[in-house]
Amino acid sequence: MPATLAPTQYGAITKTFHWLTALGIVAVIPLGIIANDMPYDTAEQLADKARLFSLHKTIGVSLFFVALARITWAISQPKPAPLHPDRKAETLLAEIVHWLLYGSLVLVPLSGWVHHAATEGFAPIWWPFGQNLPLVPESLILSEFAAGMHIVFERVLIVSLVLHIAGAVKHAVIDKDDTLARMLPRGRVTTAAPTRPAHSLLPPVFATVVWAAALGVGSLFGVYSKSNALAAQAPALEQVQSDWVVQSGTLGITVGQMGADVSGSFEDWTASISFDDTIADGIAGTVDVEIAITSLTLGSVTQQAMGADYFASADFPTARFSAEIRTTDTGHVADGMLTLRGVAVPVTLPFDLMLDGDVAQMQGSTVLDRRRFGIGTGMTDESQLAFEVGINVDLTADRSGQ
């Protein structure tokens, strides 16, 4: 069997690409469906779910590169002509399906890869080249949009694949011609080669229209955004009186999951701060911080974090940190109680403070043990979910509040 294409059949390289791609599709689509439907109520279930998703992603990325190689090879090799060029409508439909297949084999894994790269956490790709993509920032909005596109393009791929297989079966069973035999590993072709038809722009144009229509349907069904799918609505925090009014700031959180750090932040929180910067030693003020738990974004595990085994946001929508601010000869410390999931735990937050007139800049960090708050009690393996959780605070406050 020749490596390159012949007038009557496909060559060995093309056949290898075809059946390798088919094997990848047969594996990757069921893996994604099964992994997506798997529960993750226990540590064992979460680990199994993550492994299947990692396998799904790894095969998907591999399939992406195989598809690129296959398309590059196909462009360099003129393929055999249709055996029934007189059936113009059937030939056009077959060409459209081929364009949809080629395009989907690139778009499906690429959109999934963008979804993975735009967020942190859960089920890494099993390879040594990192998890990010050039020009793809970490963004929950981008990740959700790419996830929606991944779903839409996958549906187009599945429909195209069904049509492709149906066409091959029709040629083999009804027409009894050599169309399928030309692609089989040891297929024997006896039909004389017809003249190749001239290339037409209609198939790629129609394929583009199908993709655009599919994306439009996806938009109608709202698959590009899941931001409203939190476990509970974020509570409206009341305005607080404060001697120092926060003008800007970040309340960040870092957790270790599956051997990787996953970082996020709470978008909605209030702080009532009193502080006397003239006190050089001892209690210099107080701070009272209320946090809307469902305002947390934590990469791909945001929704999971809201669940009953973790933050339990439906039952405990807010957390509170109330502390005294002490000034020492080595710096500043906020010493108080953090109430989370209805559990109050003593917490010490050392921080650096820079004062410039009526403007204060504060940066602090501490480490908490999630188990003390009853978070993830079923996750007893630190390789799956670390016990220690990093807290980072960075804010700018104005004494005048102007």
How far apart are alpha carbons 384 and 370 in whole angstroms? Answer: 13
What pLDDT was estimated at residue 209? 96
How far apart are alpha carbons 210 and 216 in whole angstroms? Answer: 10
Helix/strand/coil for 331: strand
Regions of the chain short of the pLDDT cut 70? 1-8, 41-43, 121, 187-199, 226-234, 401-402
How confident is the model over 125-175, as pLDDT tens digits? 999 898 889 999 878 788 889 999 999 999 999 999 999 999 999 989 998
How far CA 217 is from CA of 107, 148, 149, 205, 220, in Å, comes to: 17, 11, 11, 19, 5
How far CA 162 is from CA of 157, 187, 201, in Å, comes to: 9, 22, 23
What pLDDT was estimated at residue 24? 96
Residue 319's Cβ-count burial label (10 Å; 0-12, 13-18, 19+) is buried
Tell me which amino acid residue 123 is: A
Looking at 3.30.565.10, 2.40.128.110, 3.40.50.10440, 3.40.1390.10, the CATH number of the domain 245-398 comes to 2.40.128.110
What pLDDT was estimated at residue 159? 96
Quick one: angle between helices 140-169 and 88-117, nearest 10? 150
CB 168 within 8 A of CB 83: no
What pLDDT was estimated at residue 184? 87
What pLDDT was estimated at residue 181? 85
What pLDDT was estimated at residue 183? 87
| pTM recorded for the entire structure | 0.72
How far apart are alpha carbons 128 and 301 in whole angstroms? Answer: 23
Residues 6+ apart with CB under 8 A from 343: 372, 373, 374
| Token duo for residue 250 | 């970040």
What pLDDT was estimated at residue 99? 95
Of the candidates 189, 154, 147, 115, the one whose C-alpha atom is nearest the C-alpha of residue 30 is: 154
What pLDDT was estimated at residue 70? 93
What pLDDT was estimated at residue 228? 43
Domains in the chain: boundaries: 12-220, 245-398
